[in-house]
A and B are shown apart, each in its own frame.
Chain A
């Protein structure tokens, strides 16, 4: 018995929609099995993990807080991945964006101006974009593989942040905790509703997603992204520059990751500390693929992955399982998405008897 793939003449619209849902269903099945193996009731655990966090207002706000950076980063990454630029260092751009965005409130804690917040956001975006500009420069100038360089820069950014908050930026009145002073109220991203903590970050995320969806759908730039991504040669014949696309996609995704970083620090943490992200930059890669690299799909998948974080916390509290479970779920989702995507381009045939298949062909 073997599996054989047959290329479809056209990509299947049915499976384009079904594949992410199928992947989620398979993840739930795998999750049930995993909970069973851990000695917990499979259905009860899934309920605690995936449903309970949606039932009260407080956790809905937490969901929006966690979805915001995931969506912001993932829509930027979707442009990179579509144009065949593999920026996997969004975690580093997120970190640098958080640092450059925090320069004003950390160094000028007494500056109470309404200008500070917009300036912080802009500086965060610039910082993230410049940091993503390093792998872009190395790729266009020195032909260096952007996967490896952008990833190495994640470690460097994290060490830089660690040094900052333990050294020059440490709050002298902070009882030796490695963190900066809390931001002044003017430097804190406002909450959107009175009912909870969710801040403007989620609004930025949705604006970015809609804008990039519009670009991909109706603008020449979006067309360039798809053409260069599918065939650099075809793009060259059309007069599109692959080098410029490297810069465009990397700077754009870096800026969005930087915006996510400063929004997270200013909106939900309120100061800078050694660890500011539970791996948003890496999880966003999963978000991008689960959303099928479509900015609007990414909004939906961003909430799904945000739920895996919340579910992990819930599982830790009510099931006394470690929150690493959420990482496992995230990895499983990506695996199943990638396998289900095969159905879009290929028909899968199970061949029980190889010789029979040969006859059928002739």
Chain B
């Protein structure tokens, strides 16, 4: 029972963690991409379609990454080349993504999906208590863990990561130092989009292996809140992602318990819990103005035009 709950929590948390990690990198470079929800849903539909057409869930993962990545380039062109308002462009990306995915996925509605099979790691998965939970998971889960540590290393231990953080904190100075601000930001946006696409692929290949319109159900926005919650640090994204995932699963179990126990808790109240939790967490994290100011990349959301 306990193991089963833990497994569902992991499945529910993984897309949040991956999407938030990608956004974290994008935001560290000083770009606020509010189109996370749109990129995720495009990744979800691309992954499902690729898996259906090729019969392979692994190619589906690739399709999801490409879908989210290519879609994010649209955001890049507008905000980085044409210096459009990042908030508005992000919203545009979400609106377009939700519409386009609905249109593209129309013929897949109701089709049985192809589930990504778990990879059982020998020996490790025999460890009592947590072995089966942690070491007989699907590829996307392993990728999420690798991403957490990979991004941590990249941002804080590598030269390119340092440059990227410099751009996010002061793009004027970084430009004066000869760092190519726009190119680095393009890469950061692309990486964020690819991660969002991977998160979407997890939804349509693992979490609920089928295509449902609007299946992201606000997870992109929750992942955005998660980045603030984690104060732009990858390890805290992992912790926060699991916290949010646990709230989501907790409300499902509470609904079942209430039903079987005959207690009349409105299901809508429980469904609203993840959103309420997000607001509460944002209040707790943001109320100290000074720490927020220290943690937020200083150039976040500000347009940059190279003056040569």
- Any chain A CB within 8 A of the CB of B143? no
Say whether A334 contacts B272, CB under 8 Å.
no
**Beta-carbon nearest neighbor of A332 in chain B:** B96
CB neighbors of A among B93-151 (8 A): 93, 95-100, 102-103, 106
User: Are B84 and A289 neighbours in the complex by a CB distance under 8 Å?
Assistant: no
* Contact B92–A147 (Cβ < 8 Å): no
Which of A45-53, A106-114, A202-210, A323-331 is near enough to bind chain B?
A: A323-331
Contact pattern, B 260-299, Cβ under 8 Å of A = 1, otherwise 0: 0000001011011001101100110011110010000000
Q: B81: which A residues are within 8 A, CB to CB?
A: 3
Q: Is the CB of B84 within 8 A of A342?
A: yes
Contact, CB under 8 Å: A159 / B228: no
> Chain A contacts of B268 at CB under 8 A?
159-160, 162-163
Please determine whether A324 and B275 come into contact, CB atoms closer than 8 angstroms: no
Q: What distance in Å separates the Cβ of B244 from its nearest Cβ neighbour in chain A? A: 12
C-alpha spacing A112/B202, complex, angstroms: 55
Binary per-residue interface labels of chain A (335-346) against chain B in the complex, 1 for a CB within 8 Å, 0 otherwise: 100110110011
Contact between A149 and B276, CB atoms less than 8 A apart: no
Asked if B17 is an interface residue, CB under 8 A from chain A, the answer is no
The size bracket of the interface on B is 35 or more
The answer to whether the Cβ of A94 comes within 8 Å of any Cβ in the partner chain is: no
**CB distance B271 to A159 under 8 Å?**
yes
A148 touches B224 (CB 8 A): yes
The reply to whether the CB of B83 lies closer than 8 angstroms to some CB of chain A is yes
How many residues on the A side are at the interface (Cβ–Cβ under 8 A)?
48
Residue of B nearest to A157 (CB): B272
The interface residues of chain B, by DSSP majority, are classed as helix
Bits for A133-156, please: 1 = Cβ < 8 Å to B, else 0. 000001000111101110111011
A132 vs B231: C-alpha distance when bound (angstroms): 26
When the two chains form their complex, are residues B95 and A331 in contact, meaning their CB atoms are under 8 A apart? yes
Q: In the complex the two chains form, is B99's CB within 8 Å of A324's CB?
A: yes
Question: Nearest CB to that of B102 among chain A residues?
Answer: A324
Indicate with 1 or 0, residue by residue over B60-96, a CB within 8 angstroms of chain A CB atoms.
0000000000000010001001111101110111011
Given contacts A163-B269, A322-B103, A324-B102, contact A335 B279 (CB under 8 A): no
Q: Does B243 contact A (CB under 8 A)?
A: no
> Do the beta carbons of B283 and A144 come within 8 Å of each other?
yes
Contacts of A335 in B (CB 8 A): 74, 78, 89, 92, 96
Q: Are A152 and B221 in contact (CB under 8 A)?
A: yes
Query: Complex: how many Å from CA A332 to CA B74?
Result: 11
Contacts of A86 in B (CB 8 A): 87
**Does A44 reach chain B (CB closer than 8 Å)?**
no
B55 within 8 A of A: no
Complex Cα distance, B272 from A300, in Å, reads 37
- With A148-B225, A324-B102, A332-B96 as known contacts, state yes or no: A138 contacts B283, CB within 8 Å: yes
Contact residues, B215-263 vs A (CB, 8 A): 218, 221, 224-225, 228
Is there a chain B Cβ closer than 8 Å to A285's Cβ? yes
Contact A282 B95 (CB under 8 A): yes
From A5, which residue of chain B is reached at the shortest CB distance? B305
Contact A152 B91 (CB under 8 A): no
Return chain B residues, CB-CB under 8 Å to A7: 305
Q: How far is the CB of B281 from chain A (nearest CB, A)?
A: 10
Report if A145-B305 is in contact (Cβ < 8 Å); known contacts: A88-B91, A155-B275: no
Is residue A36 contacting chain B, with contact meaning CB distance below 8 A?
no
- Contact check, B279 vs A328: say whether CB atoms are below 8 A apart: no
The reply to whether B92 and A334 form a contact with Cβ atoms under 8 Å apart is yes
A156: B residues at CB distance < 8 A: 272, 275-276
Taking a contact as CB atoms under 8 Å apart, the answer to whether B286 and A144 are in contact is yes
Q: Does B34 contact A (CB under 8 A)?
A: yes
A159 to B272 Cα, complex, angstroms: 7
What is the 8 Å Cβ interface bit string for chain A, positions 236-263, against chain B (1 contact, 0 not)? 0000000000000000000000000000
> How far apart are the CA atoms of A185 and B73 in the complex, in Å?
53
B157 at the A interface (CB under 8 A): no
Q: Are A142 and B99 in contact (CB under 8 A)?
A: no
Whether A328 pairs with B100 at a CB distance below 8 angstroms is yes
CA distance A163 to B269 in the complex (A): 8
B159 within 8 A of A: no
**A window 153-171: CB within 8 A of B:** 153, 155-156, 159-160, 162-163, 167
Which partner residue on chain B sits nearest A335 by CB separation?
Answer: B92
Within the assembled complex, what's the spacing in Å between the Cα atoms of A319 and B214?
Answer: 24
Q: Report the bound CA distance from A151 to B271 in whole Å.
A: 15
B78 cross-chain contacts in A, Cβ below 8 A:
335, 338-339
Which residue of A88, A324, A338 contacts B103 across the interface (Cβ within 8 Å)? A324
Q: Is the CB of A145 within 8 A of B286?
A: yes
CB of A206, distance to nearest CB on chain B (Å): 25
Of the listed residues B88, B97, B100, the one surrounded by the most CB atoms of chain A closer than 10 A to its CB is B88
Contact A167 B228 (CB under 8 A): no
CA distance A296 to B283 in the complex (A): 37
B88 touches A338 (CB 8 A): yes
A324 CA to B221 CA in the complex, in Å? 22
Q: Which chain A residues lie closer than 8 Å to B305 at the CB level?
A: 5, 7, 346
User: Chain B nearest CB: distance from A178 CB in Å?
Assistant: 12
Indicate whether A98 reaches chain B with its CB closer than 8 angstroms.
Answer: no
Nearest first, the 8 A-B pairs at minimum CB distance are A327-B99, A331-B96, A324-B102, A163-B268, A334-B92, A159-B268, A338-B84, A328-B99
Given contacts A81-B88, A342-B82, 11 further A-B contacts (CB under 8 A): A149-B282, A156-B272, A159-B271, A285-B88, A285-B95, A322-B106, A327-B100, A328-B99, A330-B99, A338-B92, A342-B83
27 contacts between A and B (CB under 8 A): A5-B305, A81-B88, A143-B292, A144-B282, A145-B228, A148-B221, A152-B218, A153-B279, A155-B275, A159-B268, A159-B269, A159-B271, A282-B91, A285-B95, A327-B100, A327-B103, A328-B99, A331-B92, A331-B97, A331-B100, A334-B91, A335-B78, A335-B96, A338-B85, A338-B89, A342-B83, A346-B305
